[in-house]
Chains A and B, each alone.
Chain A
Amino acid sequence: MNKLLLGRYVPGDSWVHHLDPRTKLLASFYYIGIIFLANNWQTYLLMFIVTLFIIYLSKINISFFLRGVRPLIWLILFTVTLQILFSRGGTVYFHWGWFWLTEYGLINGAYIFMRFVLIIFMSTLLTLTTQPLSLADAVESLLKPLKLLHFPVVELALVLQIALRFVPTLMDQTTKIMNAQRARGVDFGTGNIFQQMKAVVPLLIPLFVSSFTTAEDLATAMESRGYQGGDNRTKFRVLKYHNSDIIAGVFMVALTVALVLLKN
């Protein structure tokens, strides 16, 4: 469980770290959007150069990103294999029943592989350089227009922030309870499926119960500190755009233009 890299934040002091979280969030989504514009070798090469450059700017070791790809590698390979075996067109190298090995299939497989890697690199970069709490702030700020439609933006942001704050706490709690039950003779992850499901009960019930207790304690503590609902509160962490955010925006537009010019 501790090996999970997704959603981890690595403290740092780089140009990317200092960008406004809203910029990073929007830019990441935008980037994932424009990856689909790439459809030939030149465009993918451009995307890779840009991605590696941004990673270089973030001063984070590339091994972190490769580690991010590792848990998804089987999904990626599965998709790529299907793509290769079931696409037709161009020169046929091999053909057996439903399966085809063709030029187009191989090229498409390679494109999809690169697309996956780029998306994972970019989303890993987002979480590695942005604190979860500022991400929640960014979501709140970006969703603000929805208030006009009576969408509970502030409440959603609060729930998101509390949830993010308690992820590590819950993980710790899970490990502790697991250890306590293992010490009482529970074998997690062994036996047939029913035995394994049964073994989870001594873990799940205490976890739920302690979540209820935590929720109750937290609600009491919040009320006693004067929390009366989300409206009309001031903010401690105020988000502000800087020059670097404008540069990032311009960069994204320039990248889009370059992609459109280079694509087929």
Chain B
Amino acid sequence: MDITFDHVDFTYQAGTPFAGDGIKDVSVTIHDGSYTAIIGHTGSGKSTLLQHLNALLKPTAGSVTIGDFTITKETSNKNLKPLRQKVGMVFQFAENQLFEQTVARDIAFGPKNFGVSDADAQDLAKRMVKLVGLPEDVLDKSPFDLSGGQMRRVAIAGVLAMQPEVLVLDEPTAGLDPAGRHEMMAMFERLHREQGLTIVLVTHQMDDVADYADHVLVMEQGHLIKTGSPREIFADPAWLQEKQLGLPTTTQMAQDLVNKGFSFNPMPLTEQELADQLVPQLGGASHE
């Protein structure tokens, strides 16, 4: 299910004295089955862009095509439910959306809203809780008795239970410990690879972008200023610095090594690539 933005503008509180900028003239296609990362400085319009992906916001100009749906300014809020099921959204600090008496009921809430029977929804809850790496005995607990990290997992399980075709993640690992972060990102990667889930990820972690994404969108002040593969985006450190964005740790290290006389082609994105290119250069040096 491709998602296409066609000259999309969005202005907050349009037509009031408090009108604020959202996004301006964004045209891009997010392809079916891709893993797209959106990066940009805080307040650059990333989250605004995300909310167009399932019509929580509607463009003030232009149109968004999501599968069979075309969303424009005039689109009514009715009949958007099938769309919302296809595009699952994990918001920032998703643990704030939990409300049911038990974890099982909270996870089953989404599917039941989309017409899944109670028994099937409970079954889904059982599967999803395992998928996000929680023991099955949390199902009967109150979500508010869990730790922050566990609550985040339950919230994510609640979104996955809707069995979306596109998974939109707004900084899903913010505030998690390193192990939790790694596990979460690995799980999304697995879903992407095994089930062909399209993933759209907003993040400030350039390492995650380099490790997982196959397509990167760079936002600045509401404009989409660059798109390309992570390799293309990270090839120009000076440009990224100017846009107040960082490099992945590995690329940063490679860059520091270049300044000391090493050379890399292409610039390595992952530890493996760095090691592969570094070994011959070090080996060459030791023979002299």
Contacts and interface: CB of A to CB of B under 8 A. Distances in A.
Contacts of B13: 2-3
Interface string A103-115: 0000000000000
Secondary structure at the A interface, as helix, strand, loop or mixed, is helix
A187 interface: yes
B195 to A, nearest CB: 19
B94 A202 contact: no
Contact of A183 (B12, B18, B88, B99): B88
Contacts of B42: none
Contact of A63 (B17, B98, B110, B162): B17
A177 B56 CA distance: 12
A184 B96 CA distance: 13
Contact of A2 (B12, B54, B94, B109): B12
A226 interface: no
A43 B81 CA distance: 57
Interface in B125-178: 144, 158-159, 162
A193 interface: no
B255 interface: no
B54 A183 contact: yes
Interface residues of B, number: 30
A95 to B, nearest CB: 44
B97 A206 contact: yes
B17 A181 contact: no
Contacts of A176: 91-92, 96
Contact of A177 (B81, B96, B162): B96
Looking at A10, A180, A205, the one whose CB has the most chain B CB atoms below 10 A away is A180
Contacts of B219: none
Best-buried of B89, B94, B99 by chain A (most CB within 10 Å): B99
B96 A206 contact: yes
Contact of A3 (B16, B56, B92): B16
Interface in B39-85: 51, 54, 56, 78, 81, 84-85
A88 interface: no
A185 interface: yes
A173 B97 CA distance: 10
Interface string A162-193: 00000000000100110111111111001000
5 contacts: A67-B16, A180-B94, A183-B159, A185-B81, A202-B97
Interface of B: 12-13, 16-18, 51, 54, 56, 78, 81, 84-85, 87-89, 91-92, 94, 96-99, 109-110, 113-114, 144, 158-159, 162
Given A3-B13, A185-B81, 20 more contacts: A2-B12, A2-B16, A3-B16, A64-B17, A67-B17, A177-B96, A179-B51, A179-B89, A179-B91, A182-B56, A183-B54, A183-B88, A183-B91, A184-B84, A184-B113, A184-B162, A185-B113, A201-B99, A205-B99, A206-B99
